[in-house]
Structure 1
Amino acid sequence: MRKLSNLAMACLGTAAMLVFSGASLADGSAVSVNLTNGKSIFENGKPDGSVPACATCHGDKAMGQDAMKAPRLANIGYVYIVKQLTNFAEDKRTDNIMQQMNGIAKALSEQDRRDLAAYENSFPRNAELSDLNQLKTDGTKIGEAYKGSILVRYGRNGPGVAEKDRVSACTSCHGFNGRGADPVYPKIGQQKYTYLVAQLTNWRDATRTNDPMGQMRKVAHNLSDDDIIDVATFLSQAPDSTSGDGMEIGNQTVLEKLKVVR
């Protein structure tokens, strides 16, 4: 059977992810999202106590916390967040770090998930980068950013590279410096360092398996421990654009398709 092209794979991925989001970009229909409800759950949890405030772990600006390996959620992608919350609720993804996201997601309604995802992607596109110097001082092993940048931008392929060592470039799917390819691929640039290390390790070891078509497991399969910390070191600090790139980045590709209630 002929392999799918990157474009075909991307189209399939888009279709699959949009099912989780409840938004159809093809026919122009839109679902309603309530930012007030999303903000309330994020800041205070649910009134019945079934869901704690998301901000407790992810920070009041949804920028994540390295100490807890809690990821940045702000502006990483509406569709992606809806999909992850749905996967947690259906036990297609297991929270093996804090052991709480499955229970939390189960207590969220489908509308709650959409509202949270919309709110988390309504923040200004700012950055609160991991403090690598502090992490290193505290005993966390930090990689070499220049080595990570090579893997992120170019991968490890070409003549003379053994099949067992081949790695696809992160930018092939996640865009320049991992800034995201909304609505299919999430923003991984400026993600928290400890979370990046944990998830790349999980993909490599197949302890996380909710990637469409097994894409991330295939990419991470040939990464060494050093590769992982190098990639995480670079991505955690990577700017969305540079003077040589200059592209303005937005986060409204999907949000503008939604009926937003405030």
Structure 2
Amino acid sequence: MTSHSINSPQFFLTAPSACPYLPGEDERKVFTHLVGPKARELNDLLTQGGFRRSQNIAYRPACETCRACVSVRILANEFTPRKTMRRVSAANSDLVATDYPAEPSSEQFTLFRRYLDSRHRAGGMADMTIGDYAMMVEDTHVSSRVIEYRLRAPGDGVAEAPTGRLIAVALTDVMSDGLSMVYSFFDPSEARRSLGTYMILDHIQRAQAEGLPHVYLGYWVKGSPKMDYKTRFLPQEHLLAQGWKRFES
């Protein structure tokens, strides 16, 4: 595998393909490899410049006729949860969140498959095997963590690791200026808990505790209902042509 310097990464452009968010649009991506001793610094710079990470690849949209994908980051230090968000936190007060190195498990994959089969059966990840999942988690040259969310069980807090049922997982990169939520999934039968919202709230609290100013949420696409939730976490910034600008809802 070729190692690229942080000072001169090599970028490539994908062929056009159907956009998964906006009907009738095509998408293209520009990407580079995150490998070698400078991978972490390069990931920081590229994420701050609107890229996302998938395994050892950093990518961002490079569509010819569309600029709908907008990078979003929450201003963690200024964030105050709304009343509805406080209800979500209260509804999940029986969960235990544990931070681990980026290592996959069969238990995680079982939950991952249930999530995909329920929420993204026609998506690009629908055919992922346990080997594919393992690569998604552990094929990283940056500082990545897996956060597991389990129902609290008797003995938790005494045993080495929580033993309750696993109901949500987040794959997260730890950057110099924040946490980047690479991918998260949850038990689809626990819809009443709003686990997607809860994991974002938990990451905001983690960023605040670690003195990190941002939580990166990836792309927001105006006009795509599946992306609307991202703009609820205010204050936040959007990456525009002029740089990061505060978003007003």
> TM-score w.r.t. structure 2 length?
0.29
Which of the pair is proportionally richer in strand?
A: 2
Which of the pair is proportionally richer in helix?
A: 1
> TM-score w.r.t. structure 1 length?
0.28
